[in-house]
Structure 1
Amino acid sequence: MERPAKQKVLYLITKSNFGGAQRYVYDLATRLPRENFEVQVACGGNGTLTEKLYTASIPTLIIPNLIRNVNIFQDILVFSHILTILRRERPDIIHLNSSKIGGLGALAGRLIGVKKIIFTAHGWAWHESRSPLARNIIKILHWITVLLCHQVITVAEKERVEMAEMPWTKNKLITIHNGIGAIDFLEKSSARDFLITKNPALAIYKNSLWTGAVGELHTNKGYEYLLRAFAELHHQPATPLVILGDGEEKQALEQIIIEHKLTDRVFLLGHIPDASHYLRAFDIFTLTSVKEGLPYVILEAGLAGLPVIATDVGGISEIVEDKKTGMLVKSRDVGAVADAIPPLLDNAHLRQSLGHALQVSVGQKFTLEKMLANTTLVYTK
């Protein structure tokens, strides 16, 4: 019997750094069964994502002028380039990721007549810190994107329910949680030794309890609330806060650190490749985002067996059950974050029990195999 022809899948994503959406694209692009699918990726810039894709021998196209912020002239050029790519490559499926490429790619796909247009929403952008007018405009643009697509994947059920309230969207939406595979974690001492090389001043805390965070220094991650909360913990002088990540908010965060006299307790170590390998350097993991989808970093912290303090935004509550597999706090609430940290610092049993419960839950519910199988069904049905 003749084997069915391979389906050609083109992934499009705006940025080429290696945040959650890029991790998602990389995992799918490198794990789809090659006997059934031919894969390409198109993105803006030459970042960690493109480096990893080249290493994995995934054909990768660079879209000039593609950036996150709106620029009408550049966006027209980007749209024209997407049309050119679609005409040349003739994909059977385009799988769009991130807000801007979602809208531009869906419209281009409809004009070219792509058979299947799929968009994954990694958190709705109207939840970002913007004016009410801007949020409403963004919500309408997201709605139009959904209407242009054949299928929309939300990484959290909460996100699906929100969009399903908009007209003519319900039958297009499906929730597929992010999933991860095994991670080769360094044990605590080795992980700390490595991080200390990034800032030797950390050495005095080698045997202390560490509170940590990992992620791009972006307003969506709410680091300012974490820093201000940490400033309230005057009775915990021997506890450092260690943040792995770089980004546009670095200078603003450094100013907050200076303002609150935290320079000897808070350490911004910058971008650390494969940061998840060093998670066991931490005793407590924090994520104080104001906007999320279903964050990989909490799944990683869970696999590492860490107790997690996280804000109740996006799909976080679908991973962390308050006081059972972690601690949930209200977003933008400095006092709530400050109140959540000391009980974990003071109680080793609580840290261990919450960390173990999350580890078991993540290992059962959020596997890469489940994500891949469910996404493949969307491609083939």
Structure 2
Amino acid sequence: MKRVLFVITGLGLGGAETQLVHLATRLKARGWDVRVVSLTPPRAYVQELEAAGVPVISLGIKGKLPDPRPVFRLAKMIRTWRPEVVHSHMVHANLVARLVRLLAPVPVLICTAHNIDEKGQRGSGRLREMAYRLTDPLCDLTTQVSRAGLERYVRIRAVPRHKIRYLPNGIDTERFRPDPELRARLRQELGLETAFAWLAVGRFVVSKDYANMLQAFSRVAPERNEGCLVIAGDGPLRPSMEQLASDLGVTERVKFLGTRRDIPALMDAADAYVMSSAWEGLPMVLLEAAASGLPIVATDVGGNSEVVIDGKTGFLVPPKDPDALAQAMLRLMGLPPEERRRMGAVARQHIEANYSLDRVVDQWEALYTELLERNGIRPRRMAFRGRRE
């Protein structure tokens, strides 16, 4: 049985983590032996993975200071379990997995970047890009979830062009699809009644720029009295955003739902999706919204333009421009309902054609096989120290 070890910085409810869970469980169902390592203590998805037969191991990293011990623990794990493929996700896991290759035999190492810009605090983004550049010889291939991200990585010389490949996120189009019955039930539960409901899903962190969204909505609210904004998510900036909503006088029109596990139902309950991010990779929530048949207004950052076809499935606006965001929201709200439904239908067709989960998992399996064969390893009869698997 072929073995793949996924390594990720942490397991939360973010897009990168969701994508890893989809890939891990689908590969397990296809006959792969799969394990997941989280550098930090996991906060989500452990039950889902273990229910699918995928063990989750935490290296327990909690502090911010460099600690070599987790690297040695991961190396020991790899020497013992001997996976054919190690596939890391997110910047810290990518760098750790590369260093581990100095200590343990890894036939194929793939590192996936999930953002266009590995921004950190106090200017650490440049240090991370330099770390990518210095450790690039230790991995077989870096992949990017957006074409925009790929071009940026090549431009800043984090990765040479011949060692990076675009491979997008995938979405389960059966789980995310329009459901009129579910829509009616949840709208009643949320008290939306006849309101035009904008939905946003994501953590309250700097990259999502919820201040931009709330400022834009404060311009929309006086123009369209029936509009409301529903935000699902939590995070360190939530209290300050709740205060901002109060300062802007829109508290009664904004619903802060906190963390939710019924995102497909929330998508069905909404009339449109809005994203105000300052930077992105290829956001899973945009794929989910489009698959759910929602027209979208989003900032033109990262891979957003690969999901939102401007003028056909929604509207794109510059980042950090609440006036432009508000005007696009008003423009969408002003369209006839049948036109908005048509935009949503085109959005779903775009997702089905380019981002369906099974199609993306097919590409990953093909890539694993390609790299194993390129390295002179037969994927189905992998040999370690003279032993055939």
TM-score (norm 1): 0.89
Structure 1 segment 209-228 matched on structure 2, within 5 A: 209-228=196-215
The SS at the match of 1:23 is helix
Match of 1:169 among 133, 141, 160: 160
Q: Partner residue of 1:13?
A: 8
Distance 2:254 2:29 in 1: 46
Distance 1:115 1:54 in 2: 26
Q: Partner residue of 2:130?
A: 140
Structure 1 segment 178-189 matched on structure 2, within 5 A: 178-181=169-172, 182-183=174-175, 185=177, 187-188=179-180
Distance 2:87 2:368 in 1: 9
Distance 1:35 1:266 in 2: 43
How far residue 36 of structure 1 moved from its aligned partner, in angstroms, is 5.4
How far residue 195 of structure 1 moved from its aligned partner, in angstroms, is 6.2
Q: What residue ranges of structure 2 are gaps of 5+ in the alignment?
A: 371-389
User: Number of matched residues?
Assistant: 365
The SS at the match of 1:45 is coil
Match of 2:259 among 271, 282, 288: 271
Structure 1 segment 100-119 matched on structure 2, within 5 A: 100-119=92-111
Structure 1 segment 276-291 matched on structure 2, within 5 A: 276-291=264-279
Distance 1:215 1:274, change over 3 A: same
Q: Partner residue of 1:231?
A: 218
Distance 2:61 2:187 in 1: 35
Q: Partner residue of 2:80?
A: 88
Moved more, 310-319 or 84-93: 84-93
Q: Are 1:155 and 2:148 matched, yes or no?
A: no
- Contact 2:110–2:142, Cα closer than 8 Å, also in 1: yes
Structure 1 segment 8-47 matched on structure 2, within 5 A: 8-32=3-27, 37-43=32-38, 44-47=40-43
Q: Are 1:61 and 2:57 matched, yes or no?
A: yes
Deviations 1:277-326 (A, max 9, x none): 32021111011112221111111111111100111111111111211222
- Contact 2:28–2:53, Cα closer than 8 Å, also in 1: no
Cα RMSD for the two superposed structures: 2.2
Structure 1 residue identity aligned to 2:339: L
Distance 1:136 1:11, change over 3 A: same
Q: What residue ranges of structure 1 are gaps of 5+ in the alignment?
A: 1-5
Distance 1:168 1:367, change over 3 A: closer
Distance 2:176 2:341 in 1: 20
TM-score (norm 2): 0.87
Q: Partner residue of 2:250?
A: 262
- Contact 1:302–1:362, Cα closer than 8 Å, also in 2: yes
Distance 1:196 1:63, change over 3 A: farther
Match of 2:232 among 244, 259, 272: 244
Moved more, 179-188 or 220-229: 179-188
Structure 1 residue identity aligned to 2:253: R
Q: Are 1:76 and 2:71 matched, yes or no?
A: no
Q: Are 1:344 and 2:332 matched, yes or no?
A: yes
The SS at the match of 1:118 is strand
Q: Are 1:366 and 2:362 matched, yes or no?
A: no
